[in-house]
Amino acid sequence: MIRPFSFAGVPGIVFGPGEFRRVHRTIREFGRHVLILTGLSSLERSGKWDELAEGLAEESIRWSRVTLQGEPSPDFVDDTVSQFREEGVQVVLAVGGGSVVDAGKAISAMLPQDDSVCEYLEGVGHREHNGEKVPFVAVPTTSGTGSEATKNAVLSRIGPQGFKKSIRHDRFIPDVAVIDPELALSCPADVSAACGMDAFTQLLESYVSTKASPFTDALAHSGLSFLKDSLVPVCTTEPNNIEKRAAMAYASLVSGITLANAGLGVVHGLASPIGGQFPIPHGVVCGTLVGAEIRINIEKLRQQGQDGHVALRKYAQVGALLGGKGFREEETHSCCDLLTDRIDEWTELLNLPRLGDFGVRTSDLDGIAQSTGNKNNPVELNPEEVRGLLLRRL
Ligand SMILES: [Fe+2]
């Protein structure tokens, strides 16, 4: 029996190596004045900025540019919006990693409003956004967060009272996502690894989520099947393999679609309090913890017997997929072991840092565990169990 579900939608998708060269045509469909968000200088270094500027000139599109270093804060969004609110911006374009795409998404959502983005941040403000925004085109240059397909933007304030909170609305899903795997060719190995493990975690958590549907299951399975033989090579021996970069770009895009519609698990619950207090990239938090999460979830699902069967079978299916073999019901337990072994292997090969490398101490774990929600984890973990999970990767 299919459980009731809803599906918020997907952006228009333009996918393929070289597509960035034609992004000005997509922009033209929305207007003649574009506000462009980018990182500090990587686009110049790759020569892609000149290409973009030439294309915009060809179409007589006026542009303004804002650069972002690090993760976007509410202040960054508010300052940019007040600078451009009266400028007649007709479309926002973000070209960069997940932080840049999130910043562009939040700015496109706030340009038509007249107050601070803090008013709309979940758990911070008290207003509900009406969904009105300036059209938004997302061009990811890393393969991981899936922000090019999601309906939320994460904003951060780092420090003892820090937070990572979302502004969210179904209409914030980008109007168009232009996915050009060539843009990820220059992505450094450690960033590729963190982002790739984020995409993996998003696909897996949404696949076993309590909110998963046959629709998101099909997508998550498809994303995992492309990711499985590409993640390690693009981070180690084959960074310039465009076929594998394309597989990772596809997996990332799909992970955004599945997370937006099926939800996530306890590792993404942990990403907010950890990322708010410590300067750890989101993908590192997810990548370093996902192996421990799988282990504890599988342990608890096994204890539940028949009640845990559906999620356990899904973990086993992913284990079989990653192990390159067909899934057979009677091999559920050995396929779950295959999954945990493979993730341990990836964690090792990708050299994923531990939480302690970023200043997290044993004494911090209780506070983190207490402030974590289970999200749509397939089993309920109590704070003591979450603490145990964290301890494995301290
Ligand atoms: Fe994530």
The Å distance, Cα 147 to ligand 1 centre, comes to 9
pLDDT of 300 > 80? The answer is yes
In which band, very low, low, confident or very high, does the pLDDT at 4 lie, cut at 50, 70 and 90?
very high
Q: Does 23 share its domain with 132?
A: yes
User: What spacing in Å lies between the alpha carbon of 274 and ligand 1's midpoint?
Assistant: 13
- Residue 364 included in any domain: yes
Number of domains in the chain: 2
Confirm whether 337 is domain-assigned: yes
Domain coverage including residue 51? 12-184
pLDDT in tens, 37-52: 999 877 888 889 999 9
Distance 83 CA to ligand 1 centre (A): 30
pLDDT for 281 beyond 90? yes
Q: What is the pLDDT of residue 350?
A: 98
- 207 CA distance to ligand 1 centroid (A)? 14
Domain with residue 136: its CATH number is: 3.40.50.1970
* pLDDT at residue 331 greater than cutoff 80: yes
Structure tokens at 166: 């979302």
Residue appearing with tokens 């067909």: 326
Q: Give a yes or no: residue 324 inside a domain.
A: yes
- Please tell me whether residues 180 and 221 are part of one structural domain: no
Confidence (pTM): 0.96
Q: Are residues 178 and 212 in the same domain?
A: no
Instruction: Kindly state whether residues 361 and 328 are assigned to the same domain.
Output: yes
Instruction: Report d(CA 85, CA 43) in Å as an integer.
Output: 26
Residue 158 clears pLDDT 90, i.e. is over it: no
CATH code where residue 314 lies: 1.20.1090.10
What distance in Å separates the CA atoms of residue 110 and residue 121, rounded to the nearest whole number? 12
Between the CA of 128 and the centroid of ligand 1 the distance, in Å, is 24
Which of 123, 266, 283, 264 lies closest to 197, judged by CA? 283
Q: Can you tell me whether residue 293 is helix, strand or coil?
A: helix
| Inside any domain, residue 3 | no
Q: Which of 64-102 are b and which e, b meaning 16 or more Cβ less than 10 Å from the residue's Cβ?
A: eebebeebbbbebbbebbeebeeeebbbbbbbbbbbbbb
Q: Ligand 1 mean position to 200 CA, how many Å?
A: 9
Please tell me the distance from the alpha carbon of residue 369 to that of residue 249, in angstroms, as a whole number.
Answer: 32
Amino acid 42: pLDDT: 78
User: Quick check: is 46 in a domain?
Assistant: yes
158/84 same-domain check: yes
Question: How close is the Cα of 330 to the center of ligand 1, in Å?
Answer: 32
Tell me which range, 41-50, 75-84, 305-314, is most confidently predicted by mean pLDDT.
Answer: 75-84
Residues 202 and 133 placed together within one structural domain of the fold: no
CA of 33 to the centre of ligand 1 (A): 32
Does a structural domain hold residue 267?
yes
Is residue 258 within 8 Å of residue 202, measured between CB atoms?
Answer: yes
Q: Using the 3D structure, point to which of 149, 184, 219 is the last residue of a domain.
A: 184
Residue 373 has pLDDT above 90, yes or no: no
Q: How far apart are CA 210 and CA 92, in angstroms?
A: 34
Both 180 and 201 in one domain: the answer is no
With b for 16 or more beta-carbon neighbours within 10 A and e for fewer, the 269-288 pattern comes to bbbbbbbbbbebbbbbbbbb
Q: 351 and 248 share a domain? A: yes
User: Are residues 255 and 376 both part of a single domain?
Assistant: yes
Q: How many CB atoms lie within 10 A of CB 384?
A: 10
387 and 257 in a common domain:
yes
Q: Residue 152 forms beta bridges with which residues?
A: 168
Establish if 29 belongs to a structural domain. Answer: yes
Report the separation in Å between the CA atom of 48 and the middle of ligand 1, taken as the mean of its atom positions: 26
Q: What are the tens digits of pLDDT across the range 193-251?
A: 999 999 999 999 999 999 999 999 999 999 999 999 999 999 999 999 999 999 999 99
Gap from CA of 127 to ligand 1 centroid (Å): 25
Residues near ion ligand 1 (Cβ under 5 Å): 198
156 vs 94: CA distance, rounded Å: 18
**Do 106 and 255 share a domain, yes or no?**
no
- 35 forms bridges with which residues in the sheet? 64, 92
Contact criterion met (CB below 8 Å) for 355 and 393 = yes
Domain boundary among 164, 184, 204: 184
Give me ligand 1 centre to Cα 132, in Å: 25
**CA–centroid distance, residue 31 to ligand 1 (Å):** 32
| 243 Cα: distance to centroid of ligand 1 (angstroms) | 23
287 Cα–ligand 1 center, Å: 9
For 123-157, what is each residue's pLDDT tens digit? Answer: 999 999 999 999 999 999 999 999 999 999 999 98
Mean of the per-residue pLDDT values of the chain: 95
Given a contact cutoff of 8 angstroms between Cβ atoms, the answer to whether 259 and 251 are in contact is no
Q: Which has more confidence, 186 or 134?
A: 134
Same domain for 193 and 180, yes or no, is no
In-domain check, residue 6: no
The residue out of 136, 161, 184 marking a domain boundary is 184
